[in-house]
Amino acid sequence: MTGQVLDLASTVSPGRAAAPAQQRVSPSINVDRITVSYANGVPAIRDVSFTLGASTICALVGVNGSGKSTLFKTLMGFLTPLMGEVRIAGRPVDKALKRGLVAYVPQSEEVDWNFPVLVGDVVMMGRYGHMNFLRIPGKADRMAVDAALERVGMSEFRKSQIGELSGGQKKRVFLARALAQGSEIILLDEPFTGVDVKTESAIMDLLRSLRDDGRLMLVSTHNLGSIPDFCDQVVIINKTVLAYGPTETTFTEANLAEAFGGVLRHVHLGGAELHADADRRRVTVLTDDERPLVLYGERDHEKLVKPDRGETD
C-alpha cells in the first residue's frame, strides 16, 4: 500500500472470534465487478472480478499504480467498493475479518518500525481475535505463538525488537503473526522486496507448505521470474483485470506486454545468436529489474521455463 505509514497494530485483522481449528473454513475470495475510489472520487480500480479457492497461491501482477494495493485495502476492509461486491469464504468482508479469516503481511515501507515492540508481541497480535477484551494471553495463545515462530524459523528472535530485524526477518515475523491468527487467507504485499535470495526461497517454501495445508494466498509482486516457481494462479491487473487464471496459460508474454506496455525490458534471443543449427526456438527474457522471467518456446512462447535461480541472482 502506498501513501500511509501504519502502526503495527493497525495491520492486523480486527478478528473477534476466529474459527477454532476443528471448524476450519474453506478459503475463497470472490471479487465481483468492484469499482473502488479514494476521496478524490477517481476510480483507482474498476469492474474488477476474479475468484480464487482453497490450496492456491495467486500472484497479483501489474505496473506501479495499477491498483494492487487498492485491491488489498478493499479485501482488508479499509476501503469499500462504490460498486460490486467482495465475498471472503462466502461472507461479506467485515464478517470474514471479524472471524479472523484474513491476515495481511504488509509492505515494509508501510510500517512504523520505531514502534517499540518485541517479536513475540507482534506475533501475539495475531491472537487478539482469540482473546477477550482484556487481551490476556492464555496457554493456547502462547502455544500458537511458539508454533508460528518455530514454523518460520524465528524462535530465537522472540525477545528481539522488531525494528532491529532485517527485511526478510520482519516478513517472516508477519507471516508468523498470520499463522498464529489461524487465518485461512493470507494477503502478502511485496513479500520479496528487500530480502535476500535465501530468504526469498525460504518464504516461497513456507507459502507452498501453507498451500498444501489448504490455505489461499494472494501475493502482490514485481518479482516476475519467481512467479512460475511458486504461484499456480495469476491475476494481471491494470486498473481492471486484464487476465486471470492458471499461471501456465495466463502468465504469457502477450498478457504481460499488455499489462506492462513499455515498462518491461524485452530481450529476444534466437537464430544464430542462440543456436548452432536450424533450431527455430527463441528465448525471451522479460524484466522490470527484479528477477527476470525467461520464456522459451517455438511459437509465441507458449511454454514457461523456470529461470535457473543460480544464474539470475
Residue among 127 and 171 whose Cβ is closer to ligand ATP: 171
Look up residue 221 and give its three cell numbers.
509482486
Residue 93 Cβ vs ligand ATP, minimum distance, rounded to whole Å:
17
Q: What span, in angstroms and rounded, lies between the C-alpha atoms of 60 and 78?
A: 19
Beta-bridged to residue 60, according to DSSP, are 220, 235
x/- mask, ligand ATP, residues 269-308, rule CB under 6 A, reads ----------------------------------------
Q: What span, in angstroms and rounded, lies between the C-alpha atoms of 57 and 73?
A: 19
Q: What share of the chain is helix, strand, coil (3-state, %, to 5)?
A: 35, 25, 40
Residue 267 Cβ vs ligand ATP, minimum distance, rounded to whole Å:
23
Closest by CA to 18, choosing from 117, 109, 141, 129, is 129
Residue 154 Cβ vs ligand ATP, minimum distance, rounded to whole Å:
26
CA angle 41, 42, 45 (to 5 degrees): 120
Report whether 217 contacts 207 (CB < 8 A): yes
Using CB under 6 A as the binding rule, the residues of this chain from 235 to 274 that contact ligand ATP are none
Residue among 5 and 274 whose Cβ is closer to ligand ATP: 5
**What is the Cα gyration radius of the chain?**
20
Residue 221 Cβ vs ligand ATP, minimum distance, rounded to whole Å:
10
Look up residue 261 and give its three cell numbers.
506496455
Residue 294 Cβ vs ligand ATP, minimum distance, rounded to whole Å:
22
Residue among 67 and 129 whose Cβ is closer to ligand ATP: 67
Residue among 265 and 280 whose Cβ is closer to ligand ATP: 265
Look up residue 302 and give its three cell numbers.
507458449
Residue among 18 and 52 whose Cβ is closer to ligand ATP: 52
Residue among 42 and 134 whose Cβ is closer to ligand ATP: 42
Report whether 125 contacts 9 (CB < 8 A): yes
Q: Give residues with Cβ within 8 angstroms of 132, minimum separation 6.
A: none
Residue among 73 and 130 whose Cβ is closer to ligand ATP: 73
Residue 261 Cβ vs ligand ATP, minimum distance, rounded to whole Å:
14
Residue 36 within binding range of ligand ATP, rule CB under 6 A: no
The binder of ligand ATP chosen from 26, 33, 38, 83 (CB under 6 A): 38
The binder of ligand ATP chosen from 3, 116, 262, 310 (CB under 6 A): 3
The binder of ligand ATP chosen from 22, 23, 40, 132 (CB under 6 A): 40
106 in helix, strand or coil? Answer: coil
Burial 3-20 (b: 16+ CB within 10 A, else e): eeebebeebbbebeebbe
* Total of residues contacting ligand ATP (CB under 6 A): 13
Residue 88 Cβ vs ligand ATP, minimum distance, rounded to whole Å:
19
Beta-bridged to residue 58, according to DSSP, are 218, 233
Using CB under 6 A as the binding rule, the residues of this chain from 43 to 102 that contact ligand ATP are 44, 62, 64-70
Q: Which amino acid is at 255?
A: N
Q: Which residues of this chain interact with ligand ATP, rule CB under 6 A?
A: 2-3, 38, 40, 44, 62, 64-70
